[in-house]
Amino acid sequence: MSFSNAFSQVVAFVGGAALQLRRMRQGDPTPAWGASPRIPEARPQGAIPTLKMPTARGWPQRQTPIAAPGLKVNAFASDLDHPRWIEVLPNGDVLVAESMSADRPPRSIFDYAMVTTMRRADAMGVSANRITLLRDADGDGVAEVREVFLDGLNQPFGMALLNDTFYVGNTDGLVAFPYTPGAMRITAQGRQLATFKPAGHWTRSLLPSPDERKIYIGVGSLSNIADFGMEAEEGRAAIHEFDIASGTDRIFASGLRNAVGTAWEPGTGVLWTVVNERDGLGDETPPDYLTSVREGGFYGWPYCYWGPTVDDRVPQNPAMVAKAITPDYALGGHTASLGLCWLPAGTLPGFPDGMAIGQHGSWNRSKLSGYKLVFVPFANGRPSGAPRDILSGFLSADEKDAYGRPVGVAIGSDGAVLMADDVGNVIWRVSGA
C-alpha cells in the first residue's frame, strides 16, 4: 500500500471519529432545502474537518441507477474517461467533455488530507483533456459511433456551438475553433478569446445568450474562503459575460463561490445557476443553492452566506455584506450541485416545467448528501415546490462505495434526458418507461 493510500485511510478514520463525535453532540440536522430553509448555526470545524468520501467503484455489471416511477434509464455510452459535461449539436450528435481535477502537490497537512481523499474517490488524477463525439445513428437510444472530436485541451468543460464557431471553456480560458456542420473531428488550431486563472475550482461552464451575442462563463474560486487572500481571487467566484462582437469580457455577477451549471428560464428570460457553497461550518451550513442571477449582483462569498449571515472566519467587509443577495432555493448542504438543465413540461412523463440538477455529492459531512439527479419544479418563472428524484442509487447502502456521481445534464435530440456520470464513466439516458 502506498503512503498516500495509507494516509487517506488514516484521514478517513480520524475524520470518521470526529464526525461521529459531532453527530452525538449536534444530532442530525434537517436537510436545508427550499426557498426558506432552516440553516443550522455555524460550527467551525477547525483543524479536524469532516472528511467522508466513498471509494469510487463504478457500476457492477447489469446494475444501473434507480429511475423514478414512470421513467427508465439506460447507458447511452460507457467506458468513457471521467465524462463531465454534455453538449448536443443540431444534428443530434452528443459531445462529452472528458476531464478531471489535475493532480497537484498538497499545500498543507489539511490539504494533503483532502488531496489523498480526492485521489481515493477518483476525483483527481490525469485528465483526458478531450471532447468525444457520440452518435446514435440507428435511433435505439445507444451511441454506436464514437470519435475523438477535439483533443489537446486544458481541462475542457463547457461547450457551445454558435454558427460556424465551436467554443470550449478550458480551465485557463475561452477558446474558439472553426466548425463545419456534421464534422466528426476538429483539427484546426483554436483562438484564445479570454483568459481565466486556472486551478482551484477549475470548471468553466459556457451558456450562450438567447440572441447568441454573448456567452456566460462560470469561474469558481481558487479556495474555500479566500484562504490565500482576495488578490488571488480576483476575477474568480463569478459569472463572466463575454461579448462575441467586441471580444470583451466582464464580470456579470460576483460573490458566487463556485457557479457551475447555468440555464435560462424561457418564460422570463432570466439566467439561473447552481452554486457550491463553502466548507467547514457543518453538515447543512451553508446549503448549496439554485438562484436567479442579477446583472451586477453580489451573492456574499467569501464574507457571508445565504444573504447577510457573516462567516466569522473571513476578514469582513460590512459594505459587501450589506449588499449580499439571498439565493432563491437551497439544495442541501454540500450536495455539490453541478449540472443544470431546463426541462419543459412533459420532457419526462409526469414532470412539469422545472430544472434538472446533477448533484455530484458530498465529501465533507457526516451523512453523505447529493449523489442524485434531482428535479425542482417551476411555476411563473420561479421554484414552486419540493424537489423530486429523477435518478438515485449512486451510493452503496453503507455509503462506503460510489457507483457513480452525477454531473452535467442535457436534453438529447430525441427528447430524452442525458446525464454525465464521471465515476461510472457513463452517459445515462432517461426517458418514459
For 103-152, give the secondary structure using H, E and C: CCCCCCHHHHHHHHHHHHCCCEECCCCEEEEEECCCCCCCCCEEEEEECC
Q: What is the pLDDT of residue 216?
A: 99
Q: What is the pLDDT of residue 113?
A: 67
Give the model confidence (pLDDT) of 311-343 as tens digits: 999 999 999 999 999 999 999 999 999 999 999
Domains of the chain: 57-102+127-432 (2.120.10.30)
Residues in the chain: 433
Query: From the CB of residue 34, how many other CB atoms can be counted at a distance below 10 Å?
Result: 18
Cα gap 358→373, rounded to integer Å: 5
Give the model confidence (pLDDT) of 115-147 as tens digits: 776 676 667 789 999 999 999 999 999 999 999
Q: What is the pLDDT of residue 30?
A: 86
Res 209 pLDDT > 90: yes
Q: What is the pLDDT of residue 106?
A: 72
**Strand order, beta sheet including 33-34:** 33-34, 329-333, 287-292, 270-275, 259-265
Q: What is the pLDDT of residue 24?
A: 57
Q: Give the mean model confidence (pLDDT) for residues 389-406.
A: 96
Q: Give the mean model confidence (pLDDT) for residues 32-40.
A: 96
- In sequence order, the 6+-apart residues with CB closer than 8 A to the CB of 206 are 157, 158, 159, 160, 167, 168, 169, 174, 215, 216, 217
Q: What is the pLDDT of residue 13?
A: 56
Residue 326, amino acid: T
With a pLDDT cut of 70, the percent of the chain lying above it is 89
Predicted TM-score (pTM) of this structure: 0.92
Confidence of residue 102 (pLDDT cuts 50, 70, 90): confident
Q: What is the pLDDT of residue 6?
A: 53
| 215 CB-contact burial (10 Å; exposed 0-12 / middle 13-18 / buried 19+) | buried
- In sequence order, the 6+-apart residues with CB closer than 8 A to the CB of 362 are 52, 333, 334, 335, 336, 368, 369, 370
Residue 426, amino acid: V
Res 77 pLDDT > 70: yes
Res 104 pLDDT > 80: no
DSSP string, 47-115: TS-----PEE--PPTT--PEEPTTEEEEEEE-S-SSEEEEEE-TTS-EEEEE--EEP---SSHHHHHHH
Q: Measured in whole angstroms, how far is the alpha carbon of residue 171 from the centre of its chain?
A: 14
* Angle at 27 (CA atoms; ends 25, 29), nearest 5 degrees: 135
